[in-house]
Amino acid sequence: MNFAALLSGPVVDYCTILYKNGHVGDEERFLQEEAEQVYSERSWSLTGYRLIVLLGILSNIIACVVAQSMKEIKVCADEQPEMGDCENDSSLENVSFKVQTFQPENASMYDIIKETVSSAAFWRFLVVIMVTLNVRMIFRHLDATLPKYMIREFGANVPKGTIYSINPLMIMILVPIISAATTKIDPLVMIHHGCYISAASVFFLVISTSIPACVLFVVFLSIGEAIWSPRLYDYTCSIAKEGREGTYMALSSAPLFLAKLPVGMMSGYLLHKYCPEEGERNSKIMWLIIGLSTASSPILLTLCWGYISKRENSSQADERMNDLLSQVPQHELSRLQQVMVPVVNSQIELSDIKKRPSNSSVLT
């Protein structure tokens, strides 16, 4: 997806700036004829914006064809390694793995909803999703508000698509690096810190109305996204039990799509009021309003941290473990018990040794 977004920026610049239907000035001539009220019949022409729409249609057709060839899989081991050998990566070399078609757990919609809302972890997850909604809305402003702002402030030939492409380029580079370096850090901590960076990026446009400010906005927004966005998916999957990841993923994305309509209306209103095509502009106020609305997400995360960072207590963890074990096939469960029982017994013996009195106390 990011690779496609990286390519789309220069393509949009080519279609809207360099491509003029085979010769320079086609779209300008079209607007001039409208202004002069020339109503003579014109033949259909492939303008730059029509070319963008056509390329989008072709790309979606290709994506649909490719999607039909994909299937969900599940990788499992034919033989479980010994528990003591798990610390040594070389022990996994002799373990064979097989690929199976993943079969999602079948249940009615009512049962899925009942099971989901009965979990306390789900409600903490829902709070995180709703609180981070505003900071995720900044990407809609990146798509809708920023290009119009740049055209009206810097002219029609501004490389808006190329500047936009900075975001997917940095995501492709930074996400693997940051994810590998922060594997042991809790996902919520990364979401919390990354949201602050993304929210702060808007204020570059509050300080300055310039192309460098636009570049800094996209750069810092991308750094923040590389920190929190992958860990949000990580957090979602860690909350969901196996077979219910799709439900949680849908719930995490649903508020984002529902909020697109008011954000689009907000973008149009702010552009009309503070950055019109003609007349006096005060774009810094527009970005200040957007920045303050975006900053509410990390601030609310800080205020709600005591609730959303709660962990399951022992009874909830036992219930969750029982649910997971109930999904394990019987033949795999017996092998799992053979591995786990010696480990549990060794832990019990170790705890008994710690409770025994020392030699000195026995002698006395």
Per residue in 2-12, pLDDT tens? 777 777 777 77
Range scoring the smallest mean pLDDT among 77-86, 141-150, 243-252, 284-293: 77-86
Cα–Cα distance measured from residue 55 to residue 60, given in angstroms and rounded to the nearest whole number:
9
Contact of 48 with 19, CB cutoff 8 Å: yes
pLDDT of 184 > 70? The answer is yes
- What is the CA angle 281-285-288, rounded to 5? 145
Contact of 308 with 128, CB cutoff 8 Å: yes
Q: Indicate the DSSP class of residue 74.
A: E
Cα–Cα distance measured from residue 253 to residue 115, given in angstroms and rounded to the nearest whole number:
19
Contact of 238 with 187, CB cutoff 8 Å: yes
User: 161: which 2 tokens?
Assistant: 């698509």
- The pLDDT tens digits of the residues spanning 46-61 come to 777 788 888 888 888 9
What's the distance, CA 18 to chain centroid?
33
pLDDT reported for residue 217 = 96
pLDDT reported for residue 84 = 46
pLDDT band at 22 (very low <50, low <70, confident <90, very high): very low
- Summary mean pLDDT of the chain: 75
- The pLDDT tens digits of the residues spanning 186-231 come to 889 999 999 999 999 999 999 999 999 999 999 999 999 999 888 8
Give the side-chain half-sphere CA count within 13 A for 79. Answer: 9
pLDDT of 92 > 60? The answer is no
Amino acid at position 290, single letter: I
SS3 69: coil
Written in H, E and C, the secondary structure of 314-360 is HHHHHHHHHHHHHCCCHHHHHHHHHHHHHHHHHHHHHHHHHHCCCHH
pLDDT higher at 324 or 24: 324
pTM confidence score:
0.68
| Distances from the Cα of 174 to the Cα of 156, 189, 199, 227, angstroms | 31, 18, 18, 8
pLDDT of 95 > 60? The answer is no
pLDDT reported for residue 349 = 46
pLDDT band at 354 (very low <50, low <70, confident <90, very high): very low
pLDDT reported for residue 203 = 95
Cα–Cα distance measured from residue 38 to residue 30, given in angstroms and rounded to the nearest whole number:
10
Range scoring the smallest mean pLDDT among 24-28, 141-145, 291-295: 24-28
Contact of 218 with 300, CB cutoff 8 Å: no
